[in-house]
Homo-oligomer: A and B are copies of this chain.
Amino acid sequence: MKTFASDNFASVHPNILKALNDCNNEHEFAYGYDKYTETAISKFKELFGEHIDVYFVFNGTGANVLSISTLLKSFNSVICASSAHINVDECGAFENFSGAKLNLIETIDGKIKKEDIQKYLHAIGVEHHSQPKVVTISQPTELGTLYTIDELKELSDFIHNNNMYLHIDGARIANSIVALNTTLKEMIVETNIDILSFGGTKNGMMFGEAVIFFDKNLSSDFKYIRKHGLQLYSKMRYISAQFIEYLSNELWLKNAEHSNDCAKYLEKKIKEIKEIEIVQKVETNGLFVKIPKDKIEILQKKYYFYVWDEEKSIVRFMTSFDTTKEDIDNFANYLKKNIN
């Protein structure tokens, strides 16, 4: 059976598995000096342009922490939403690896605005305070919401005008591309993002994420940082072969489109249950809903899910590339039956 706990409860897309089987031939250079990695990188260049630098790592926490750290000195700070994965869900990995500080912004919907950043800029040049250097946002946010392209552009301009960099945690970047009916070039390149963590594992891959630098001056240290950040994979071809397949025939977009559509359908079904309140706009594949506190444990028994805010009794449901209409119908029925 399928849960709605997270898109990382899902399996691996059959095409990805086939690609892993197909690349299992003979010897290859280790650590990324193989032909599959070369091809995977060229696939990314088709999407983003020739000017990028691409590195593969094991997981999303690795992609975020290491890529942001590349831009930092130990006395810097990174500005992010308090709901950011890097703040809440990585067990302090960022602070531990970088030795730097997070400057948090409280938000309603996971999105930060340039006005929120302003207050941290007074610190610049004053030795008593951490020096802001990077802003990191998630697209979609951890609350499933989206920055519009105009919002990204405005944020990016403001950040660059203040001599800082903009990083995007794109663990579910495909879902945002589909939802906004846009392209990576338009959403990422033309808005002048500096670094993108490009996720695959939550959308049908087995493992592996990509870090994309849009300025080669920023990436020159990354190969060392990846290695001593415990994220250099020896048999790299087995990540690269996945990405080649993932980026071919729009598999990444099709998977994301499917899970977004499933979320919309689940939203429709949940709206029929008056005891559940949807508290965030459903823009990608996550639903944030308020349910009666005393029902949480009962509901989790069959369909495990995560509690997002214990105080407010908000929980998260997610769809994934392998969710079916039938799964949703069953789940909605189960909710309806058990919540009364």
A304 to B29, Cβ gap below 8 A?
Answer: yes
Interface string of A1-16 (1 = CB under 8 A from B): 1110110111110100
Count residues of A near B (Cβ-Cβ below 8 Å): 80
Residues in A1-45 with C-beta less than 8 Å from chain B? 1-3, 5-6, 8-12, 14, 17, 20-21, 24-31
20 contacts between A and B (CB under 8 A): A5-B30, A8-B30, A9-B30, A11-B25, A11-B26, A12-B24, A21-B21, A31-B127, A58-B207, A58-B230, A58-B231, A75-B224, A75-B228, A76-B92, A89-B128, A92-B99, A93-B230, A97-B230, A119-B311, A229-B230
A167→B167 CA distance, assembly (Å): 35
Residues of B within 8 A of A95 (CB): 95, 99-101
Q: How many copies of this chain are found per oligomer?
A: 4
Flag whether A246 is at the interface (Cβ < 8 A): no
Contact among B65, B129, B238, B304 for A230, CB-based, below 8 A: B65
Flag whether A206 is at the interface (Cβ < 8 A): yes
Query: A307 — nearest CB in chain B belongs to which residue?
Result: B122
Contact among B24, B99, B130, B227 for A128, CB-based, below 8 A: B227
A224 to B131, Cβ gap below 8 A?
Answer: yes
How far apart are A255's CB and chain B's nearest CB, in angstroms?
Answer: 15
Q: Specify which of A25, A75, A119, A310 lies most central, judged by the most chain B CB atoms within 10 Å of its CB.
A: A75
Residues of B within 8 A of A101 (CB): 92, 95, 102
Query: A230 — nearest CB in chain B belongs to which residue?
Result: B62
Flag whether A254 is at the interface (Cβ < 8 A): no
Q: Is the interface of A mostly helix, strand, loop or mixed?
A: loop
How far apart are A200's CB and chain B's nearest CB, in angstroms?
Answer: 11
Residues of B within 8 A of A97 (CB): 96-97, 230
Flag whether A77 is at the interface (Cβ < 8 A): yes
How far apart are A28's CB and chain B's nearest CB, in angstroms?
Answer: 6
Interface string of A31-70 (1 = CB under 8 A from B): 1000000000000000000000000001111100110010
A185→B322 CA distance, assembly (Å): 43
Residues of B within 8 A of A25 (CB): 11
How far apart are A74's CB and chain B's nearest CB, in angstroms?
Answer: 5
B91 to A228, Cβ gap below 8 A?
Answer: yes
Residues of B within 8 A of A59 (CB): 58, 230, 232-234
Residues of B within 8 A of A117 (CB): none
A interface residues, Cβ below 8 angstroms from B: 1-3, 5-6, 8-12, 14, 17, 20-21, 24-31, 58-62, 65-66, 69, 73-77, 88-93, 95-97, 99-102, 104, 118-119, 122, 127-131, 201-202, 206-207, 221, 223-235, 238, 304, 310-311, 322
Contact among B2, B5, B17 for A21, CB-based, below 8 A: B17
Known: A60-B234, A75-B92. 19 other contacts (CB 8 A): A1-B26, A9-B29, A10-B27, A12-B238, A20-B206, A31-B127, A58-B59, A58-B207, A61-B230, A74-B92, A77-B92, A88-B129, A93-B227, A93-B229, A95-B101, A96-B97, A96-B228, A130-B228, A230-B230
Query: A106 — nearest CB in chain B belongs to which residue?
Result: B106
B234 to A91, Cβ gap below 8 A?
Answer: no
Residues of B within 8 A of A227 (CB): 61, 75, 90-91, 93, 127-128
